[in-house]
């Protein structure tokens, strides 16, 4: 049995910066991440990638290096390749490394498990060759691989980033099929006006990417709708409507993306309440300004607490660490508040551009309310029409459709169908997503073999005996 003052799940910017800040305050920290290298999604495998691919990845990547190097601290025990599958009594965390299960108990727990790409159910999205734009980025960062003969489809800053990275590497996409319209952008400008200027840095980054794309000559279609991916055994083409007519572009890979949403599996598995955030069009966990949840020992930071981007994630990680250090008596209340003050100012600046981005790049409507035949649950192959049918026989919430038609019961446990099911049911029943609710998430949050699980039975016995 292991113990620590703080157990952190997730070694992305939020988890890494929290681990370091807590360690600096004198707390012992166990940092768990299923990846073999620290970095999280944005800074994936940063130590290796920065050496060989810095030119393609862009300057931001270097911030990640700093965060990873800061993990070298006597108080931090980073367990790599550790997949967390269950949390119990709020701070006892069970995980598996290389086929062996163990658990560690913290005085406090920080959940920093980041974001997921928003599910984008369009016809053909389950075909081999259809991937997320994030996946293409991971291939590049982690493996130095570039997707050739690809079309990018959807919307949002990450779509542009991936496109730009592909251009820099000399494998530009065949086309960029964008679902937002000029009207969306105009509406966002009108709504925010000069207010968004506060977030100028992020917006400038976006504009930079756009001009990069323009000069590379990638074909762009905006206001695209009726997106469908074609192919029998593998992607062969993408079809969509744009510029007033049906378009077809042949390609062997389609990279889909329309924003990221908080990955709420871990927090939900211990019953942290969530609420619907209309602007992010997703559920976010309830927490106070320190990231503390309804369970007093459990905190949450980074994109898993609501999307804010990498820099905001690092800041919220630090803020949570300060609160935890204060809670455990490592620093005084006054020290905590003083240290948090500048962080909150930075955070406000980081978040200033978010509402603008959310309005300018709304999720693709065709994927929020897919046609009846479209598969929405990849694992159990449940269609949008099935969900609408279950609504007719009385399903008001996703737990009822799960019982009736199995969506959310497969190995991904609803990660890529949950939001769609909520939206479909809400629309069919004339309820809000908030009132419709979400799947009840149960352990394991990642699969674990029965053998690994059984191996824990003895450790649990031992722990009981020592406790007696």
Partner 1 sequence: MESDYAIIGGGVVGLSVAWGLLKRGRSVTVIDGDDGSFRASRGNFGLVWVQSKGMNQPRYAQWSQQSVKAWRAFSDELRGNTGYDVGLEQNGGYDFHFSEETLAETVRKYETLKAKLNGDYPYEILGHNELRREEPEIGPKVIGAILHHQDGHANPLKLLKALADDVRRLGGRILNDKTVKSVSRTGSFKLECSDGTTVEAAKTVLSAGLGATELGPNMGFKAPIRPQRGQVLITEKLPRIMNRPSLIARQVEEGGVQIGATNEEVGFDDTVTLEGLAGLAETAIETYPVLGKAQLVRSWGALRVLSPDGLPIYQKSTEMPGAYLVTCHSGITLAAAHARFIPEWLEETPDAPDLEVFNEDRFAIA
Partner 2 sequence: MKTASQLRKLADGSRLVRVTFAGTDFQLREGGNLAAEMLAAGIGPFRYTPVSGAPRNPYCMMGACFDCLVEIDGVIRQACMMEVREGLSISRPAAGEAEHD
Ligand X SMILES: Cc1cc2nc3c(=O)[nH]c(=O)nc-3n(C[C@H](O)[C@H](O)[C@H](O)COP(=O)(O)OP(=O)(O)OC[C@H]3O[C@@H](n4cnc5c(N)ncnc54)[C@H](O)[C@@H]3O)c2cc1C
Q: Which residues of the shown chain bind partner 1 in the complex (CB under 8 A)?
A: 86, 88, 92, 94, 103, 271, 393-400, 403-406, 409-411, 413, 437, 440, 442-444, 447-451, 453-457, 460
Q: Which helix (H) or strand (E) holds 215?
A: helix 200-216
Q: Give 69 or 446: the residue with its C-beta nearer to ligand X.
A: 446
Q: Give 94 or 130: the residue with its C-beta nearer to partner 1.
A: 94
Both tokens of residue 321?
A: 């660490």
Q: How far is the CB of 94 from partner 1 (least distance, A)?
A: 6
What angle do helix axes 133-143 and 157-168 make, rounded to 10 degrees? 40
How far, in Å, CA of 358 to CA of 280, rounded?
Answer: 6
C-beta neighbour count of 161 within 10 angstroms? 22
- Residue choice 137, 179, 280, 374 for contact with ligand X (CB under 6 A): 137
Interacting residues with ligand X between 282 and 321 (CB under 6 A): 302-304, 309-310, 313
Identify what 126 binds: ligand X, partner 2, partner 1, none; CB under 5 to 8 Å per kind: partner 2
Spatial neighbors of 451 by CB under 8 A, at least 6 apart, are none
- Residue choice 150, 155, 320, 325 for contact with partner 2 (CB under 8 A): 150
Evaluate the CA torsion angle 186, 224, 133, 250 in order and state its sign: negative
Give the E-state strand segments of 58-137 in sequence order: 76-80, 83-88, 92-97, 100-111, 115-117, 130-132
How far, in Å, CA of 111 to CA of 8, rounded?
Answer: 6
How far, in Å, CA of 404 to CA of 379, rounded?
Answer: 15
Both tokens of residue 9?
A: 């799940």
Stretch that binds partner 2, among 126-134, 266-274, 296-304, 353-361 (CB under 8 A): 126-134
Identify what 169 binds: partner 1, partner 2, ligand X, none; CB under 5 to 8 Å per kind: partner 2
Q: How far is the CB of 155 from ligand X (least distance, A)?
A: 15
Does 15 bind ligand X (CB under 6 A)? Our answer is yes
How far, in Å, CA of 204 to CA of 220, rounded?
Answer: 20
Both tokens of residue 452?
A: 């690994």
What is the contact mask toward partner 2 in residues 369 to 388, using x (rule: CB under 8 A)?
---------xxxx-------
How far, in Å, CA of 294 to CA of 298, rounded?
Answer: 8
**DSSP 3-state assignment of 106?**
strand
Interacting residues with partner 2 between 282 and 321 (CB under 8 A): none
Binding residues for partner 2, rule: CB under 8 A, are: 34, 36, 41, 52-53, 83, 99, 116-117, 126-132, 134-135, 138-139, 142-150, 169, 171, 233-234, 252-253, 263, 378-381, 410-412, 415-416, 446, 449
Binding residues for ligand X, rule: CB under 6 A, are: 9-15, 32-35, 40-42, 83-84, 112-117, 134, 137, 158, 161, 260, 302-304, 309-310, 313, 445-446
């Amino acid at each position: 049995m292991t113990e620590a003052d703080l157990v952190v799940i997730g070694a992305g910017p939020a988890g890494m910066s929290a681990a370091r800040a807590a360690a600096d305050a004198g707390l012992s920290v166990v940092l768990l991440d299923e990846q073999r290298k620290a970095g999280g999604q944005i800074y994936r495998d940063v130590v290796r990638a920065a050496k060989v691919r810095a030119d393609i990845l862009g300057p931001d990547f270097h911030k990640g290096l700093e965060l990873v190097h800061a993990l070298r601290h006597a108080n931090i025990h980073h367990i790599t390749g550790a997949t967390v599958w269950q949390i119990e009594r709020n701070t006892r965390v069970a995980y598996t490394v290389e086929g062996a299960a163990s658990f560690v108990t913290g005085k406090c727990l920080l959940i920093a498990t980041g974001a997921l790409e928003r599910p984008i159910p369009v016809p053909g999205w389950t075909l081999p060759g259809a991937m997320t734009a994030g996946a293409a980025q991971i291939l590049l960062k982690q493996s130095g691989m570039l997707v050739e003969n690809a079309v990018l489809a959807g919307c949002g800053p990450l779509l542009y980033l991936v496109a730009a990275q592909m251009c820099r590497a000399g494998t530009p996409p065949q086309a960029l099929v964008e679902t937002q319209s000029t009207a969306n952008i105009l509406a966002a400008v009108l709504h925010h006006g000069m207010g968004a200027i506060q977030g100028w840095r992020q917006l400038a980054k976006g504009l930079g990417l756009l001009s990069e794309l323009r000069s590379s000559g990638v074909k762009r279609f905006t206001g695209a709708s009726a997106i469908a991916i074609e192919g029998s055994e593998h992607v062969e083409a993408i079809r969509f409507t744009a510029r007033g007519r049906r378009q077809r572009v042949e390609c062997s890979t389609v990279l889909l993306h329309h924003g990221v949403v908080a990955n709420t599996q871990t927090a939900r598995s211990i019953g942290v309440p969530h609420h619907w955030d209309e602007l992010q069009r997703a559920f976010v966990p309830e927490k106070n300004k320190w990231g503390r949840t309804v369970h007093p020992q459990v905190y949450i930071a980074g994109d898993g607490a609501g999307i804010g981007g990498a820099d905001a994630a690092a800041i919220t990680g630090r803020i949570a660490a300060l609160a935890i250090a204060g809670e455990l008596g490592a620093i005084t209340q006054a020290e905590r508040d003083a240290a948090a003050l500048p962080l909150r100012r930075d955070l406000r600046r980081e978040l200033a551009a978010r509402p603008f981005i959310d309005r300018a790049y709304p999720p693709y409507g065709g994927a929020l309310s897919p046609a009846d035949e479209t598969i929405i649950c990849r694992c159990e192959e449940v269609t949008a029409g099935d969900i609408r049918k279950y609504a007719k026989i009385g399903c008001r919430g996703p737990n009822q459709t799960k019982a009736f038609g199995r969506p959310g019961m497969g190995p991904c446990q609803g990660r890529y169908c949950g939001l769609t099911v909520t939206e479909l049911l809400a629309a069919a029943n004339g309820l809000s997503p908030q009132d419709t609710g979400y799947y009840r998430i149960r352990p394991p949050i990642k699969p674990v073999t029965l053998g690994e699980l059984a191996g824990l039975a003895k450790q649990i016995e031992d722990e009981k005996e020592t406790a007696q």
